[in-house]
Amino acid sequence: IHWVMTRRQLIALAPALLLPSCSSGPAVPAAPEKPAEPLTGLHALYQLYTSARAWAQDLQILSYSSINISEVPHQDGKVAAWQVVFVSQALGKLRTYTFSAYEASATLHKGIFEDAPQDWSGSGKPFLLEAVKIDTDKAWETALEHGKEYNSKNPKMPISYTLGMNKGNDPSWRVIWGQSAGESSFSVLVDASTGDFMQIVN
């Protein structure tokens, strides 16, 4: 009887005996968060399109542009954030979506965010995603071939991108030396369907 009682006491005490060994170990540090990585325009656009399909099935692209964020340096053909305006003819609405690799501000959050739909009069020249076959890394290579001299004179100038019906029947990438087309004195148009050089815009 004495042996049985002692054994029961040991079993009852076992959790308490184990506690010090469990709690005395060093704390495991949390894994550091990976730095934000910029994205190519078409890679971000696919994700934005997939998200927007929950709103409308007949999506077309009205405009698309990059957003530079100082905390995430751009790479060749890659930018930290992108903004697209989709339109739906069936709904008669447009809607703006943003994708950011970095939590930049109260209005530019990390991930995909959408604004409320707005009425669309049918203005502009929307186009289908299927018409865009060339990504911004390839557009940058083509633009640089025709802008080497300007780029060498302005090596630290930010590079921006827009996608739209700039000329002809196909959408084109506008590779911009500067924060926006309005502030730039040099940009290059590249056909977004074929990757061909179109023209220099001063």
Contact indicator for 140, 151 with CB cutoff of 8 Å: no
CB 177 within 8 A of CB 184: yes
* Average pLDDT for 32-49: 89
Label residue 17 by pLDDT band (50, 70, 90).
very low
Neighbours of 195 (CB within 10 A): 15
Structure tokens at 119: 């009425």
> Of all helices (H) and strands (E), which one includes residue 174?
strand 172-177
Q: Which of 24, 104, 94, 21 is nearest to 62 (CA)?
A: 94
Tens of pLDDT along 42-94? 999 999 999 999 999 999 999 999 999 988 887 899 999 999 999 999 999 99
Judge whether residue 155 has pLDDT over 80.
yes
pLDDT band, very low/low/confident/very high, at 21 (cuts 50, 70, 90): very low
- Statement: residue 152 has pLDDT above 60: yes
Residue 188 has pLDDT above 50, yes or no: yes
At residue 160, the pLDDT reads 96
Specify the higher pLDDT residue, 176 or 72: 176
The yes-or-no verdict on residue 1 having pLDDT over 50 is no
Q: How far out from the chain centre does Cα 104 lie?
A: 13
- Model pLDDT, residue 9: 54
9 vs 151, residue with greater confidence: 151
DSSP 39-67: EEHHHHHHHHHHHHTTT-SSEEEEEEEEE
Neighbours of 73 (CB within 10 A): 13
Q: Can you name the residues that pair with 199 across neighbouring β-strands?
A: 189
pLDDT of 94-145, one tens digit each?
999 999 988 888 788 899 999 999 999 999 999 999 999 999 999 999 999 9
Q: How many CB atoms lie within 10 A of CB 104?
A: 18
pLDDT at 28 over 90: no
**pLDDT over threshold 70, residue 13:** no
